[in-house]
Structure 1
C-alpha cells in the first residue's frame, strides 16, 4: 500500500512538473497572435493534382503559427504564414485521388504572394500545352521571392521557362516524361531536392515534405524546422542527395 501511495505521489509530482514547464514555455502555441510580419504562399491547383504534393507542404507551412516565440528566436522574429489556393478559375478542383479542394482565387483575381508552390500529378500533362497556365506561372514566378515545386510540378516550371539553365529535379519513376518539357534545364538525377536559391525543386510526392522542412530551416532557422518535425512526428531527410528512388528507377548506380 505504501509503495502504491509513493508511486501515486511521484506520478503527481511529475505531472505537476510537466504542466509547470508547459505553462512557462508551451511546446505549442494554442492561441497564436497575429505576427507583425507575414508571408503569403500561393498554391497552384489544377484538375488531377497530387494531394500529398500540395497538402504535405501546406501541412508543414500551416503549422508554423503554433511554434512558440522562443523557437522562432523571439516574438519579433515570428512570421505569419498565409496559405491561399489558386486555380485557373475559383471553385472546386478535383485531385488525382478524387477529393476536391476549393481554390480561393482564379488566375485573374489572385492577389500577390511571396512564395509559389507548384505540385505535380497526372493533371500536369495537359497543362504543358496550356498557354494561360504557363503564362500565369511565368509571370507570377518572376515576382515571387521563392518558387517551389513537388514531383512533376517541375515540368510546369520548365515548360514556362522558369528553370532554364538552372539545376532542378523531379519525379524519378517518370523521369523522361517529367524532364522532356525542359531541354534547357540542368536536371539532377540523384537528388531528393535541389535548392537553387530562389527556386527549389523536389522529387516525387513525399519529397515535398523534406524540401519544405529544409526550406523552413534555411529561411527561419534549424530549431524551428526541428520543432516542426517533432510536432508532425515526421522523420525528415536532411540530405538533399539522399535519393534511393533514383537508383530504383535505374537513373544512377548505387
Structure 2
C-alpha cells in the first residue's frame, strides 16, 4: 500500500524533492518523465534542473511553478479545458521516445494493478470497525467477483506517458493554465486507463472536482476510448475501497462513513455495466 515517499523544500525559484528511498525507483521515474516532457511537451510540468544525492537520499531539483494547487471544488470550464490540453500533450508524447528513454509502465499500471487488486480483495478483512460492516463486505465481494471475470477489463493500449497520480493537489493553476506535478509514479500508460484513475481519485471524486464527460472531451478521447475509460473506472473505485478498509491509512484519515460511501460507489458502477 502507498505511504509517504518524499519530502519537499522550496525556494523562490526551485523545488527540492528528496526521496526517502531508492528502492522503488521513484526518483528515476520523476527525473525521466520530467526530462521527456521538457523535450516533447514543455510548459505542462516543471523544468528539471539537476539531481543530487544528499545523506544517501536521491534528490530531484525542478523549477517552482507559479500558481496554486487545485482541489476541494469543481473545476471551472477554463480549468477543465486547460487540464485537458495538458493531458492531451502528455499522452501525445511518442511511445518510441518514451521507451527509448528507458521509461517503463507506470506504477500500478494496467498489467499489474488487476492482479494486485485481486489479491488485496481476497485477503481476510475485519469489517467490525466499519460503520456498516455488511455494506462494506458486500462492496468488497462485488468487486472481487467482477474482477475475477475474464471480460472485466479492456485489453490495455500502452501508447502514451501518464502522470499516474492526479490528486487535484498535483494540478497547479496560475489563473490561465494548468500544469502537472508529481511524476514519481509516472510512465508508459493507456490514456483511457489513466483518465479513469484520475476520475476515481478519492480526493477529486468526493469533492466533485472533475466532470468525467467534460474532462474526457477536453482530453480529446474518442467515443471508443471513453467506453474503455468507463470500463476501467470500477477497477480504480475498487482500489480506493481497499485503501479505505480498516487497517489501511485511508480508513484513519477519512471521516466515518467514507468507506461505506465508497462501497456504494463501487456497486453503483458495477450495476451500471
TM-score range relative to shorter protein? under 0.3
Structure whose residues are more often helix by fraction: 2
Structure of higher CA gyration radius: 1
Give the structure, 1 or 2, with the largest relative contact order (CA under 8 Å, sep 6 or more).
Answer: 2
Q: TM-score, normalised by structure 1?
A: 0.24
